[in-house]
Structure 1
């Protein structure tokens, strides 16, 4: 149930109070994922977060911003199952919980098609996996 509070004060005090409330709310606003600025190498796959570039065998791979962010999360959590809702909440600035899983699945499928890791002699793969929180993905990395 919503509650309403009425506060009587001067204009000066109301402006100050409004600013304080905005500052408090801003502290808790969701901040989308921003990679730590590392360079990851998994066999022929190279993810350069500072330059926002992905290459395979030295060849540039064009990714959308969201695909790049998802790949950055995978690289920073190798061999860890990441639920779709985690990926969605970490990357989308205003997550749409109703369509979030479909958005993530679409982005990851597009990412997989662009990288084609399964066709390369790469030591990493993006694997669909069921997690305790529902569908998700694992960036499987093996030693070669």
Structure 2
């Protein structure tokens, strides 16, 4: 299946160069200069290329907005090899950073790499990428679409919030330690960090509006309530 790439750029010449060049390398590419439309499409593609030098809006703000609503890998394209721009892009949730002078061959390789890492993160948790769905009472977790529904309505989670929930959902009733969650979701064990996970867990519980779903095991970590426990709670 052809990989779908969304190019967010309002520099027409640059956008056409990317669209035609990547199309010639086997990608299905669509370009959007309207940010609202780009955000709407962001969850239906495999990888997003974001031109940092947008003329109407701040590229960093677009990166922040993308990460707030979409879990698709984002590659930021900057004008120069600037450390500040790279660091800020990563802090805002970008998965990679390249400069405009990057060759199409190298860019294609980076696209494949971020997409592969995204897939590997699911496979490392033992997930299937072909439509695995977990239901917990009114909450439905769609692993393939990276979407959470509550009562049929989508719950807008950040990328980290979804990753936490997906990790817990793979083995409901089993405790995931704080160190395990930090390692799987943030890439480190969180030593010395006592706030990050707690803040994300609070936000996740608030959005799900189902306090009994995520249980805290004091001094150890968290787990999702089993289906039986949820049924007993609702009875």
Q: CA deviation at 1:94?
A: 4.5
Contiguous gaps of at least 5 residues in structure 2: 1-117
Match of 1:116 among 196, 203, 209: 209
For residues 30-83 of structure 1, give each alpha carbon's deviation from its aligned partner in whole angstroms, at most 9, with x where no partner exists.
x98435232111121110111111000100000000100000011102011111
Larger gyration radius, structure 1 or structure 2: 1
Contiguous gaps of at least 5 residues in structure 1: 1-30, 119-123
Contact residue 47 and residue 55 of structure 1 kept, 8 A: yes
1:97 aligns with 2:215: no
Query: Which one has more relative contact order, counting CA pairs under 8 Å at least 6 apart?
Result: 1
For residues 98-133 of structure 1, give each alpha carbon's deviation from its aligned partner in whole angstroms, at most 9, with x where no partner exists.
21x421111111100100113xxxxx6111112xxx
**CA-atom RMSD, angstroms?**
2.3
Residue aligning to 2:213 = 125
Q: How many residues align?
A: 106
TM-score, scaled relative to structure 2? 0.41
CA distance in 1, matches of 2:177, 2:187: 17
